[in-house]
Each structure stands twice: as structure tokens, then as C-alpha cells.
Structure 1
């Protein structure tokens, strides 16, 4: 029977598919680390209190990248080049989601609308990351090889999502509510398209590595399209709702280290 657990287990059990999976994840986390570090450095003067939280977010992402590389190394493997069609963060930028890299490479301070755009983008993408890690944690939290990494990253992603909710609500109360809702909707609708395309690309690469039959590949592709259809109809709404999280101040203080992985 085809299930999320059996699919992930098949990918994890094969060295080639495992290192592709971890390489894709590590690349995305490293990119997120760089973006957050640049945003923290460019926060406008009136919002400097946000800078340590954004820097903490970036440090967590860097840590996750090191963790995925350490998992590859633990198997005696080397990372592989990430296929462009699986590069989630790059494709989001191409679709105009988040702050453009040319703006982050400049030395000019960002504006408050820039910060709101960053937070809205993060709220959407962290929803996806939190859900994906929750799925892995459900099935592999006790796995001797990846369980510790899954638990640590999952907790961090939950913290990131909580932080986005809290900060966006603060900006909404300051008068940016309509901009936030419009930006969240635009980001969510673009993200679900990119996620569909990346999911199809990843499954295509995995299918070639693992020798899946045409029937199995077609079944998985149909499932991905079905998820997209649901998200396009109504599922995207979960990505735009805002609620004060139970976990307040989730990114206050220094990031937790991961010496066992780094």
C-alpha cells in the first residue's frame, strides 16, 4: 500500500535518493539562512528590535542546512547538485514572492512595507515547513538515524511559524492589516503552485533513481495534482489566517545549538 511513511522510507533507505533529498533540503535551508541574515542587517531604524529575531531565524536555517549535510556525511556520502526544477526558494523568488535578492544585496535599509512583505512570505512558507516536518516527526521521530534531527528541525519550524503570527499581528494592529492580508493571499496562491511544481520534479527525480514504474509515478503525480486542486480551492486559506500563538516570543534569545550534527 502506498503511504507517506512507505514513500519516505523508500527514499531514506536508498543512498542516492537519500542524498538527493538531504541535498535539496540543505540548499533551501542555507538560502533561507542567507536571506534572513541580510534582512536582519537591513531592518529599518524604527524596527531594530526585530533584527535579533530575524537573525535567530537565519541562524536556525543555517543550522538545519548543517544538519542535513551531517546526515549525508554520516552515510559516507557527498552532497549532490540540486536540480534547478527542485529549487523551491529560487522558484519562489522567480515568482516574485518575498524580497528580491538584488534588494538584499544592496546596503540600503529596508522599509516597513519590505519587512511586512518578508513576514508575510515567511508566514506562508513556514506553514509549509512546519506541516512537512510534522509529517516526518509523526513517522520518524524515533528513527535511530534521522529521528533526533527531525525532532529538532520540527520544533524550530514551529517556533518560526509562531514568530511570524505574532509579528504580523503586531503590524496589523499598527495599521498594516489590509496590506498584510493582500500580501498573504498573493504569497499563498503562488506558493501552492511552486510547491506543486517542485513536488512533481522531486518525485520525477526520485522515480528515476528508485526505478518506479510508470503506473506508480502516475499515481504519485495524480496525488500531487489532487493536493494542489484542494489547496487552490480552499486549502490556501490556512496559510493566511493569523492567530496569536500559544508560544509567545518564540525567537527571543540565542538559537539552540546542534553540536551533535554540526
Structure 2
């Protein structure tokens, strides 16, 4: 029977697939760390209250990248190049979602609208990250090799999602509501399409590494397409709603350490 648990167990049990999985995850987290660090450095003076929280967000993402690389190191594995078709962050940027990297490379302050776009985009992508980590914790939170790492990352992703909700609600009260609504919708509709494409590409690579029969690969692809259809029909709405989170000021302190994984 195909299930998230059985699929991930297969990936864990093979060095080749585990190597690719951790490499993809580490690359995406490290890229997110760079993006947040650059945004924190370019926050406009009128929004400087956000600088320490964006800095904390970036530090968490960097930490997650180190954790995935440490999991590789424990198996005496090296990171492998990430296939472009599996690079979720790069594909989002190519679709114009979030802040363009060429803008982040300049030493010019961002605008208030830029920060609103960044937070709106983050609210969508952090929902995806939180959902994925919740699934992994549910199935592998007690796993002796990866359980501790995924529990730590899951807690961070929940903090990131809470921070996006809280700050976007504050900015909506300050008059940015129309922009927030527009960017959330645009980001969610683009994200679900890119997530589908990346999922198909990752499963194709995993299928080759794990020698899956064609019937299994076909069934998995059908499942991915069905999930996209559900999200396109209406499931994307969960990614754009805003509510006051239970975790308040979730990024108000320093990033936690990941020394035990380094």
C-alpha cells in the first residue's frame, strides 16, 4: 500500500535516495537563509521593528540547512547537486513569486510594499513547510536517526507560520490589506502549481534511484495530480487565510542552536 510513511521509509533506507532528499532540503533551506538575511539588511527604516524577526527567520533556515547536511555526514555521505527541476525556491523566483534575487543583491533599501510582498509570499510557503513537517513528525518523530531533527525543524516552521500571520494582520490594520490579499492569492496559485511540478520531478528521480516499477511511479504521479486538482479547486484557500496565532511574537528571541547536529 502506498502511503507517505512507506514512501519516506524507502527514501530513508537507501543511501542514494536519502542523499538526494537531504541535498534538496539543505539547498532550499540555505537559500531561504540567504534571502532572509538580505531582506533583513535592506528593511526600510519605517519597518525596522521587523529586522530582528527577519534575521531570526534567516538564522533558522540556515540552521535547517546545517541539520540536513549533518544528517548526510552521519552516514558518511556528501551533498549532491540539486536537479534544477526539483529546486522549489528557484522555480518560485522564476515565476515572479517573492522578491527577485537581483533586487536582494543590491545595497538599496527595500520599500514597504516589498516587505508586504515578502511576508505574504512567506505565509504561503511556510504553510507548505509546516504541513510537510507535521506529516514527517507524525510518521517519523520518534525515528532514531531523523526524529530529533524533524521535531526541531517542525517547531521552527510553526514559529515562522505564526510570525507571518501576526505580522500580516498588523500590516493589514495599517492599510496594506488590499496588497496582502492580492499577493497571497497570486502566490498561492503559483505555489500549488510549482509544488506539483517539483513533487513530480522528485518522485521521478526517487523512482530511478529506488528502481520503482512503472505501475508504482504512475500511481504516485496520479496522486500528485489529484492533490493539485484538490488544491486548485479550493484547497489553496487554507494558504491565504489569516488568523491571530496562538504563538505570539514567535520570532521575538534569538535562534535556537543546532550544535547537536553539526
- TM-score class, shorter: over 0.9
Please report how far the alpha carbon of residue 218 of structure 1 lies from its aligned counterpart in structure 2 after TM superposition.
0.3
Q: Matched residues in 1 for 2:166 and 2:7: separation?
A: 35
Partner of 1:128: 128
Distance 1:78 1:183 in 2: 38
1:115 and 2:83 aligned = no
> 2:25 is matched with which residue?
25
- 5 Å-filtered alignment, 1:1-262, equals 1-262=1-262
Deviation per CA, 1:111-148, whole angstroms, max 9, x where unpaired?
00000000000000000000000000000010000000
Unaligned runs of 5+ in 2: none
Give the Cα–Cα distance (whole angstroms) in 2 for the partners of residues 12 and 5 of structure 1. 10
Aligned-pair CA distance for 1:179: 0.8
TM-score (norm 2): 1.00
Structure 1: 4+ residue segments shifted above 4 A? none
1:39-63 Cα deviation digits (max 9, x unpaired): 0000000111100000000000000
Q: Deviations over 1:51-106 (max 9, x none)?
A: 00000000000000000000000011111000000000000000000000010000
Q: Deviations over 1:193-213 (max 9, x none)?
A: 000000000000000000001
RMSD: 0.4
* Paired residue secondary structure (2:261): coil
Structure 2 CA distance for aligned equivalents of residues 105 and 3 of structure 1? 42
Task: Give the Cα–Cα distance (whole angstroms) in 2 for the partners of residues 253 and 10 of structure 1.
Answer: 38
Helix, strand or coil for the counterpart of 1:260? helix
1:178 to partner: Cα distance: 1.1
Total equivalences in the alignment:
262
Instruction: Tell me by how many angstroms 1:219 deviates.
Output: 0.1
- Superposed CA offset, 1:174-206 (max 9, x none): 011111011000000000000000000000000
